[in-house]
Amino acid sequence: MRLPIYQVDAFAEKLFGGNPAAICPLPQWLPDATMQSIAAENNLAETAFFVRENGDYALRWFTPAVEVDLCGHATLASAHIVFSFLEPQRRSVGFRTFKAGTLTVIRRGDRLVMDFPSRPAVPVEAPPGLLAALGGVPREILRARDHMLVYGSAAEVRALEPDFTALAKIPECWAAIATAPGDDGVDFVSRFFAPSHGVPEDPVTGSSHCTLTPYWAKRLGKTELKARQLSRRGGTLECVLNGDRVSIAGRAVLYLEGQITV
């Protein structure tokens, strides 16, 4: 069987920036094990699969190791493929997901705007080993799905050199977000680490901004925020808090179009 595959740089201002995602439109779902094997073979942070459903699409995401409940950059990349190749006349698309409900993406010029659930974090004690594995001296520790550690400056977040082996062994920590106030016109910065799920450091993470946005909106007293993820590739996100929803906008750039054989 031959299937189309695309690779898209999401939250990227230009090619080779942002976060690469593989996108596989399917005529029908493949076995879970096959989709997981394709994601492992692609060896990107996420591979997204979607099938046509009631005029929109059903969507699933896989890291090289596991299926995940929410992924921003691969949703953005999936919408880019719909708008660019499959249905260029559309201005919006809905993706039904298994655990995050229906996610809508709207095309506004060269920007794609996603509507995601807000995931506010609450203060917690750090699980054993987390501070030593991540490094630095955070001012606050909170948790939603992911642990969020708040540092004093963007420089502190840039300087982190996590021990990924140690971080992957902390069962209470699904993933870790490091964040701090931004600089150079950015409201806040972050980095994202999920080594136990096959993603040591994610280049740009949409789902983490479902937690980051409500925190920084409350702290800064504003609902419209500009964010920057400080990975080596880097990425820019425009975030808006709308009650219990978060709007996350960015750009996408096609890198690859081809076929896979399974």
Catalytic residue (one of 13, 41, 46, 172): 46
Two tokens, residue 194: 């999920």
Residue type, 148: M
Long-range contacts of 255-258 (CB under 8 A, 24+ apart): 255/7, 255/8, 255/9, 255/15, 255/16, 255/20, 256/5, 256/6, 256/7, 257/4, 257/5, 257/6, 257/85, 258/4, 258/5, 258/6
β-bridge partners, 92:
106
Closest CA to 74 of 100, 54, 53: 100
Q: How many CB atoms lie within 10 A of CB 260?
A: 14
Contact 13, 251 (CB under 8 A): yes
Mark whether 140 is an active-site residue: no
Furthest C-alpha separation in the chain: 53
Strands of the chain (E only): list them: 2-10, 19-26, 46-53, 56-62, 67-68, 92-97, 102-108, 111-117, 122-123, 140-143, 147-150, 176-181, 188-194, 199-202, 224-229, 235-242, 245-250, 252-261
CA–CA dist 206, 129 (Å, integer): 26
Positions marked catalytic: 46
